[in-house]
Amino acid sequence: METKHHKLSNGMDLILVPQAGATSMTLLVLTKVGSRYETAKLNGASHFIEHLMFKGTEKRPNTQAISQELDRYGAEFNAYTGKDMTGYYIKMDAAHTNTAVDMLHDMLFHSKFDPVELDRERGVILEEIKMYEDNPRDHISDLMESSLYHGSTLGWNIAGTRQTVSQMKREDMIAYRDSYYVPGRITIALAGKVDAKALEMFKKTFGKVATPKKSLDKIFAKFHQPGRMTRPTALENKKIEQIQFSLGFYGLPYSHADRSAAGLLALILGGTMSSRLFIEIRERRGLCYAIRASHDCLEDTGAFTVSAGLDRSRFKEAVKAIHGELNKISSKPVEAEELDRAKEHLQGRMMLAFEDSAVRAEWYGRQWLFERKLETPDQRLAKIRRVTAKDVLRVAKRLLDPKCMVTAAIGPLPTGSAMKKIIEWK
């Protein structure tokens, strides 16, 4: 069953992803807006707006009206905000596709942003910010990225700051929403059992959204990687039992030819329970419970990270061991059997994931939003299979660069020269 792209009359993109044997569907609406598009005054606006879309429309006057209608059918529904996009989804019995289409159209284009609800939600978001700040495992990534992307909106907290959220005005949020929630910035993906009348449903709803006479959205400032870090450390002393530790490097953008090699590098280094970091740092040395490596892409850059919760009494040993694994993987090609295992792992994981219509919707929706293509899982796997050990080594040498590395840590940290000595990568 073929995935098809449709362009609605107003320029909005629609991807239909039929799935043989499915009885449910996932409707995902992606808007190309996130924290990197914000101004200092509006930091957190993208995330705040996402929350407010669930607070009532003229047709469904409050949160309860929205949730009751979806709960009636056992639907899963939620939203999320990132640095470069905001997504809204409903997953439910395909017999009620029309309800899902009407609901998300209503929420995204007819939400009231009631002043009373807005101020109530302001308090909710402030508590959300505090929650992440109080949780070192969550907060470490924000701390690391603030240094990795220093001087760019990419380094800003997606939820904003206590000050910006407290002072943000309703009229400014509405103006921001109206600038970015426009047909040309939206991609819709419907995956699973695709109703025969689905295209007509979208034409009558999302297809009727007017295109602004004057474009008010702005292109984000492209990130330029520095030759050397201006803020190589992001440290926060805190009285906790573990030390949360993270190393951040610049990664590759979506369209880069070495993206598959970077993904395999992260997987071999710290993507599974048989990965190098997991075996060496946890299993052999007992220095942590959890450790992982990941590679995440953006349009113009990316982030390659290593994160762990470390035994504070053996912090020095743990950091030295992590650096040792980075040295090994960036100086010697991985063995053929290890590379083959990583490729087979990715194939197996993708096969399992693609049984879920939500994964299919995200896969094709995100691709179209950022790359304007519809690469199938088989096509992606073919690229992965072509990656060689030399490719992984070349990418490791490029990405794992000590001159462009951020070290972030939260916990009972050594101070001054003692800390400097521990985190220095030799």
Q: What is the pLDDT of residues 61-118, one digit of tens each?
A: 999 999 999 999 999 999 999 999 999 999 999 999 999 999 999 999 999 999 999 9
Of 47, 36, 37, the C-alpha closest to 165 is: 47
Of 305, 333, 302, the C-alpha closest to 400 is: 305
Q: What is the pLDDT of residues 199-246, one digit of tens each?
A: 999 999 999 999 999 999 999 999 999 999 999 999 999 999 999 999
Backbone angles phi, psi at 159, to 5 degrees: -80, -5
The neighbouring-strand residues paired with 304 are: 249, 295
248-279 in b/e form (b: 16+ CB < 10 A) is bbbbbebeeebbbbbbbbbbbbbbbeebbbbb
Q: What is the pLDDT of residues 338-394, one digit of tens each?
A: 999 999 999 999 999 999 999 999 999 999 999 999 999 999 999 999 999 999 999
DSSP H helix total and E strand total for the chain: 16, 11
Same fold, 4-208 and 233-423: yes
Give the angle subtended at the CA of 212 by the CAs of 254 and 177, to the nearest 5°: 65
Give the largest CA-CA distance in the chain.
Answer: 67
pTM: 0.96
Asked if 194 contacts 361 with a C-beta cutoff of 8 angstroms, the reply is: no
Domain ranges of the chain: 4-208, 233-423
Q: What is the pLDDT of residues 250-274, one digit of tens each?
A: 999 999 999 999 999 999 999 999 9
Which string of DSSP letters, residue by residue, matches 321-383?
HHHHHHHHHTTSPPPHHHHHHHHHHHHHHHHHHTTSHHHHHHHHHHHHHHHS----HHHHHHH
pLDDT > 90 fraction of the chain, expressed in percent and rounded: 99
pLDDT band per the 50, 70, 90 thresholds, residue 125: very high
Distance CA 90, CA 72 (A): 13
The residues, any chain, with a CB within 8 Å of residue 388's CB and separated by 6 or more, are: 339
Distance CA 357, CA 315 (A): 43
Give the N- to C-terminal CA distance of the chain in Å, as an integer. 53
Backbone angles phi, psi at 290, to 5 degrees: -130, 140
Q: Report pLDDT for 262.
A: 98
Rounded to the nearest integer, the mean pLDDT of the chain is 97
13-18: strand order across its sheet: 4-7, 13-18, 186-192, 24-31, 86-93, 76-81
At which residue do the structure tokens 């984000």 appear? 220
Of 342, 317, 334, the C-alpha closest to 395 is: 334
Asked if 294 contacts 315 with a C-beta cutoff of 8 angstroms, the reply is: no
Dihedral (C-alpha) 320, 326, 328, 331: value to the nearest 10 degrees?
Answer: -130
Q: Report pLDDT for 1.
A: 79
Please write down the HEC assignment for all residues of 285-313.
CCCEEEEEEEEEECCCCEEEEEEEEEEHH
- Domain 4-208 in CATH 1.10.3720.10: no
Q: Report pLDDT for 67.
A: 98
Residue 194 CA: distances (Å) to CA of 29, 70, 199: 15, 19, 9
Asked if 302 contacts 154 with a C-beta cutoff of 8 angstroms, the reply is: no
Distance of CA 159 to the CA centre of its chain: 13
When pLDDT is averaged across residues 175-185 and rounded to a whole number, the result is: 98
Amino acid at 41: K
pLDDT band per the 50, 70, 90 thresholds, residue 426: confident
The neighbouring-strand residues paired with 303 are: 250, 296
Spell out the CATH class of 233-423. Answer: alpha beta
Structure-token pair, residue 192 = 């699973």
